[in-house]
Chain A
Amino acid sequence: MILLASRNPILRWSWIPEQWDSRIQPALLEHIQLTLLAVGIGFLLSAVLATVALRYRWTVGPITLFAAFLYTIPSVAFFGVLRTTALGLSIFTVLIPLTGFTILILVTNILDGFRSVPAPVREAADAMGLSPARRVLTVEVPVAIPYMINGLRIATVTTVGLVTVAAIVGQGGLGALILDGLRRTFWTPLTIGSVLAIVLALTFDLLFVLLRNWLTPWSRAQRS
């Protein structure tokens, strides 16, 4: 056991420069790409769904229910089942579940954002003769932005974690390193994959906080 540990440390530093170009960097980039695509597409879909929900109030229930249903599907099963379909090992096998998982978080946060617009603010906008479109774009969306960004933060951090699971269908970005480490009982790729996934999640989180502060100088006034 002691011998094993010395030959197979938690992290063998020399492995990093050896494998950076061929494995680590591509995995990292794939991870970032999958995360951004999933959250980006998820946000667009959620914006559409939220618009429908705000426009036709009765759809709020069904839309939320549908999003919650997607969210509850075990990720391993979702990836696995799609692999057996015509999608096979294409990127869609990974992207569809990843996107689906973001929708509940994003739709509820977008709706919360619009609900956070105080009724008097909406009334004042109408009373000053802003058109409904202008009211939504120049008043309601800006006021809803902190909620939207919070949704994006949670969705992104969650997605960074979920992408690793997609390694079971061969596309997991850093997950591939982790899976490789597990299969070979070789800890170094597992450690690198995990640490990078964590760092990536924290980086996205920080970027969103900075983005929110930059976009909403007015809410610093509220916070202080």
Chain B
Amino acid sequence: MSTLKAVIMTDDAQTPAIRLRGVSKRFPGAKEDAVAAMDLDVDRGAIVALIGPSGCGKTTTLRMINRLIEPSAGTIEIEGRDVTNQPAMQLRRGIGYVIQQVGLFPHRTIAANIATVPRTLGWEKARIDDRVRQLAEVVGIDTAMLSRYPDELSGGQQQRVGVARALAADPPVLLMDEPFGAVDPIVRGRLQEELLDLQREVRKTIVLVTHDLDEAVKVADRIALLNVGGVVEQYASPDELLRAPANGFVEEFVGEDRSMRRLALATVGDLPFEPGPVIEVAADPAAGLAVIDEHRTDWLGLVDDEVFLGWVPRDQVAGGGALADAQRYLPAAQVAPSSTLRSALEVIMTSRTSVAVINDDGRFRGTVTLERIRGGLAGDLDGPAERAA
């Protein structure tokens, strides 16, 4: 995986998967540009979110990439190739497209819907059937549903089919226009997770339009925040956008609670750990007392060769008995490296003890404290890179 990524990275340096240069759009009869001279590079294999208030031209920009809307000026290149150099229909067959209302063909079965582009491209039937089954599995559609019609499916299932249909001919680029806007928040959250899982597998270059900052922060590697008239106010990683808004507009858009959003974005693993008031279970009780005093706390953590055993209250340690015999409190006060800082904060706020970071295999990694989180927020957390790796 890491080699693959390195290869992609070097490629990225030469040609971005999608490159917009001076792309603008003014609709006939309009006084203002819908999109004003936009430059934008999208790295290969990245998810880029276009976000902004209504009228910011985010959907227009997306549709110019596959020429559903023709730009008034400027050039758009995909993989270094000008999109106007080929017939629009041919171009579109090489670009996946997912929209909020899904737009499945009501008169065709799920299988036939997914097969739309391969059929247009004249694939053989056996190859199409294989591909449809494979995609159903990838997006989590039961193969028993393949012979059903779209109206028999729930909104979430329809959107999965929409994604499968977009991926059918294995296009390198996927365009998504508010793909999860029409489903309820629970399903939306699940579909977002699935998109990230899917992306780890298929590694497409994805441009996603959304009006939901949380969605952009959650799924995107980079966010382009657009202002009315199609002006890019900031193009940065989610963490950078939240940590260092480029101007007043961005600051207002990301909101006063942007630090809280960053907490949801970064994980405990992004922070440096500190040892905390923790000692080997075999140690002398007096040494334990010294550790407690040094950390000005009331609880001592015990580990046995990296395995975290639990927290012991100060009076038990002060009693002078062997630490191994002290009564331990294990459960609440621990988090995993993959926990978000938001959930770590929740644990810190509700625990009397320090909070231990425990690996999935039970090994003790260190403790996480309010000070560490605050310190982390001051710096560069860059959650998405971590997640993408």
B91: nearest chain-A partner, CB-CB: A129
Binds A, one of B105-113, B215-223, B341-349: B105-113
- Within A78-131, the residues touching B (CB, 8 Å) are 118-131
B148→A216 contact, CB < 8 A: no
Least Cβ distance of A140 to chain B in Å? Answer: 10
> Which one of B92, B99, B109 lies within 8 Å of A129 (CB-CB)?
B92
Interface residue? A196 (CB, 8 A):
no
Interface residue? B199 (CB, 8 A):
no
Question: CB-CB < 8 A to B100: which residues of A?
Answer: 120
A130→B120 contact, CB < 8 A: yes
Measured CA separation A218–B110 after assembly (Å)? 11
Measured CA separation A123–B93 after assembly (Å)? 13
B106→A120 contact, CB < 8 A: no
Measured CA separation A143–B150 after assembly (Å)? 13
B101: nearest chain-A partner, CB-CB: A120
Question: CB-CB < 8 A to B191: which residues of A?
Answer: none
- Within A142-159, the residues touching B (CB, 8 Å) are 142-143, 145
Take A128-B93, A130-B120 as given contacts and tell me if A121 and B152 are in contact as well, using a CB distance cutoff of 8 Å.
no
Interface residue? A222 (CB, 8 A):
yes
Interface residue? B102 (CB, 8 A):
yes
A125→B105 contact, CB < 8 A: yes
Interface residue? A47 (CB, 8 A):
no
Interface residue? A221 (CB, 8 A):
yes
> Which one of A124, A142, A145, A222 lies within 8 Å of B151 (CB-CB)?
A222
Least Cβ distance of B227 to chain A in Å? Answer: 26
B89→A129 contact, CB < 8 A: yes
Least Cβ distance of A144 to chain B in Å? Answer: 10
Question: CB-CB < 8 A to B93: which residues of A?
Answer: 128-129
Interface residue? B149 (CB, 8 A):
yes
B97→A120 contact, CB < 8 A: no
Take A128-B117, A129-B91, A129-B117 as given contacts and tell me if A120 and B108 are in contact as well, using a CB distance cutoff of 8 Å.
no
B102→A120 contact, CB < 8 A: yes
Measured CA separation A219–B162 after assembly (Å)? 20
Least Cβ distance of A205 to chain B in Å? Answer: 23
A124→B106 contact, CB < 8 A: no
A121→B106 contact, CB < 8 A: yes
Interface core residue of A127, A219, A221 (most chain B CB under 10 Å): A127
- Within A170-206, the residues touching B (CB, 8 Å) are none
Interface size bucket, A side? 20 to 34
Least Cβ distance of B323 to chain A in Å? Answer: 66
Question: CB-CB < 8 A to A136: which residues of B?
Answer: none
Give the A-B contact count at a CB cut-off of 8 A.
82
A218→B107 contact, CB < 8 A: yes
> Which one of B90, B120, B148 lies within 8 Å of A221 (CB-CB)?
B148
Least Cβ distance of A215 to chain B in Å? Answer: 9
Interface size bucket, B side? 20 to 34
Q: Hey, what's the 0/1 contact readout for B82-93 against A, CB within 8 Å counting as 1?
A: 000000111111
A124→B99 contact, CB < 8 A: yes
Interface residue? B103 (CB, 8 A):
yes
B92→A118 contact, CB < 8 A: no
Interface core residue of A125, A129, A143, A218 (most chain B CB under 10 Å): A129
B149→A128 contact, CB < 8 A: no
- Within B51-102, the residues touching A (CB, 8 Å) are 66, 68, 88-95, 97, 99-102
Interface residue? B116 (CB, 8 A):
yes
Interface residue? B104 (CB, 8 A):
yes
Interface residue? A45 (CB, 8 A):
no
B105→A130 contact, CB < 8 A: no
Question: CB-CB < 8 A to B88: which residues of A?
Answer: 129
Interface residue? A53 (CB, 8 A):
no
Q: Hey, what's the 0/1 contact readout for B289-325 against A, CB within 8 Å counting as 1?
A: 0000000000000000000000000000000000000
Measured CA separation A134–B150 after assembly (Å)? 20
Question: CB-CB < 8 A to B102: which residues of A?
Answer: 120, 124
A124→B97 contact, CB < 8 A: yes
A128→B151 contact, CB < 8 A: no
Interface residue? A36 (CB, 8 A):
no
> Which one of B66, B105, B109, B148 lies within 8 Å of A127 (CB-CB)?
B66
Interface residue? A16 (CB, 8 A):
no
Interface residue? A139 (CB, 8 A):
yes
Take A120-B101, A222-B151 as given contacts and tell me if A126 and B68 are in contact as well, using a CB distance cutoff of 8 Å.
yes
Question: CB-CB < 8 A to A121: which residues of B?
Answer: 103-106
Least Cβ distance of B383 to chain A in Å? Answer: 32
A122: nearest chain-B partner, CB-CB: B103
Question: CB-CB < 8 A to A217: which residues of B?
Answer: 149
B108→A218 contact, CB < 8 A: yes
9 closest cross-chain pairs (CB), A and B = A124-B103, A120-B103, A129-B93, A129-B92, A120-B101, A127-B97, A221-B149, A142-B107, A218-B149
Enumerate 12 A-B pairs (CB-CB under 8 Å) in ascending A order: A119-B101, A121-B106, A123-B99, A126-B68, A127-B66, A128-B165, A129-B89, A130-B89, A139-B107, A218-B151, A221-B148, A221-B151
Interface positions of B (Cβ within 8 A of A): 66, 68, 88-95, 97, 99-109, 116-117, 120, 148-152, 162, 165, 175
List 11 extra interface pairs beyond A121-B106, A129-B92, A143-B106, CB under 8 A: A118-B103, A121-B103, A122-B103, A123-B68, A124-B105, A124-B165, A125-B103, A128-B97, A129-B120, A219-B106, A219-B107
